[in-house]
A and B are shown apart, each in its own frame.
Chain A
Amino acid sequence: MSYFRVNKNCNGCLSCVENCPASALTYKDQENRRTLLHNMTKCARCGQCWRVCPQEAIEFQHLLVGQWDDVVTMDLIRCQVCGEPLYSPAYQQKVFDAVNIDGEPLCPLHRQRRAAPKWPLHISR
């Protein structure tokens, strides 16, 4: 999954590489193969590559609108009553260590209700 994509018209002329203001494009010639490389951290998305390409091979839209990449996945603790997502175990550890309250996973509404169960609903809200 790359942000810098070219279509079949790319003929490896290296105009984009030579004209990139951010030096975000380079190439590797190995034996009989040429590979074009792009570095997203240097890329300013200025569009000069797209402008200069004689073959109109650069699909610049992928640098403008792209897909979401997974960053990290972790366990999730939900409210015991209604299932609302609350926090991760690590976050629970950090908060409850700091405030020293009991570790029952409850959303704000159900935590309030459990604290004052005899009060009518409209007051505890």
Chain B
Amino acid sequence: MIVGDLKPLEEIVSAIKEYKQILVLGCGSCVTVCLSGGEKEAAQLCHELSKIKHYGGPPPKLEMGCILRQCEEDLVREYQELPEGTDAILSLACGAGVQTVADAHDPLPVIPALNTTFLGASAKPGIWAEMCRGCGDCVLTFTGGICPVARCAKSLFNGPCGGSQNGSCEVGLDTPCAWAMIYYRLKRQNKLHLLDEIRGPKDWRPGGAGGPRKRIRLGLGDGSK
């Protein structure tokens, strides 16, 4: 699931203050679940942004909306109405949603209210931790289901570094060492031999360094975008 955090209020205010009428648009999927950008957060943000104290003069007119997913252009075009006179959208979606809404309503300015951070999972309620970097060449088969790319601070592939102490990463005591976790998981699986196998260097090309990636599934629409 995509996780994001609300931007500092001052940053949002400075981005929106030049506009007269703004649609504050929440997203009903990932950012709702991680309590960053859903309908409630959009309403709260609307309420806060309407306070005169943030602006030199009168605040912009704010309207609130929320749609199930902002990351599908046809859905947004068809089912998200723009109130008459809207001159900008403040989107609480992840970066994918912000950009899709911007494409759908080009050239209307669409401003992000969130900093999209990572692909995460929730082991405990209220806590979302980074799990996946979308590297495009998953090695979880060999690491007992624990990702060394996302969960090792150095994305090491050959075991822990010298900074690993008592199962913690040198980054901080509350960050577990991914390789310690991998070792103990493989031990519980009786698969420590996987650590002895030599594997070639990882191909990082599917990982995004070569430009924005695409998935095309033929047979649905014309697959042109």
- CA separation between A22 and B32, bound complex, in Å? 6
B28 CB-CB contact with A under 8 Å = yes
- A17-52 Cβ-contact flags toward B at 8 Å (1 or 0): 000011100000000000000000110101010011
Residue from A22, A46, A52 within 8 A of B39 (CB atoms): A22
Determine the main DSSP class of B at the interface with A: loop
Let me know if B28 and A44 touch, CB within 8 A.
yes
Across the interface, which residues of A come within 8 angstroms of B39, CB to CB? 22-23, 42
Closest to A43 in B: B28
B125 CB-CB contact with A under 8 Å = yes
B33 CB-CB contact with A under 8 Å = yes
Number of A-B contacts (CB under 8 A): 26
Let me know if B125 and A51 touch, CB within 8 A.
yes
Across the interface, which residues of A come within 8 angstroms of B28, CB to CB? 22, 42, 44
Let me know if A22 and B38 touch, CB within 8 A.
yes
Across the interface, which residues of A come within 8 angstroms of B38, CB to CB? 21-23, 44
- CB B86 to nearest CB in A, in angstroms, measures 22
- CA separation between A25 and B185, bound complex, in Å? 40
B168 CB-CB contact with A under 8 Å = no
B164 CB-CB contact with A under 8 Å = no
Let me know if A44 and B125 touch, CB within 8 A.
no
Let me know if B125 and A21 touch, CB within 8 A.
no
Let me know if A21 and B35 touch, CB within 8 A.
yes
- CA separation between A52 and B33, bound complex, in Å? 14
B29 CB-CB contact with A under 8 Å = yes
Let me know if A44 and B29 touch, CB within 8 A.
yes
Closest to A51 in B: B125
- B1-43 Cβ-contact flags toward A at 8 Å (1 or 0): 0000000000000000000000000001100110100111000
| 13 pairs, A vs B, C-beta closer than 8 Å | A21-B32, A21-B38, A21-B40, A22-B28, A22-B38, A22-B40, A41-B68, A42-B28, A42-B39, A44-B33, A46-B33, A48-B125, A51-B125
Top 10 A-B pairs, shortest CB-CB distance: A46-B33, A44-B32, A51-B125, A21-B32, A22-B32, A23-B39, A21-B38, A21-B35, A44-B33, A22-B38
Q: Known A-B contacts: A21-B40, A22-B28, A42-B39. Give 17 more (CB < 8 A).
A: A21-B33, A21-B38, A22-B32, A22-B38, A22-B39, A22-B40, A23-B38, A23-B39, A23-B40, A41-B68, A42-B28, A44-B28, A44-B29, A44-B32, A44-B33, A46-B33, A51-B125
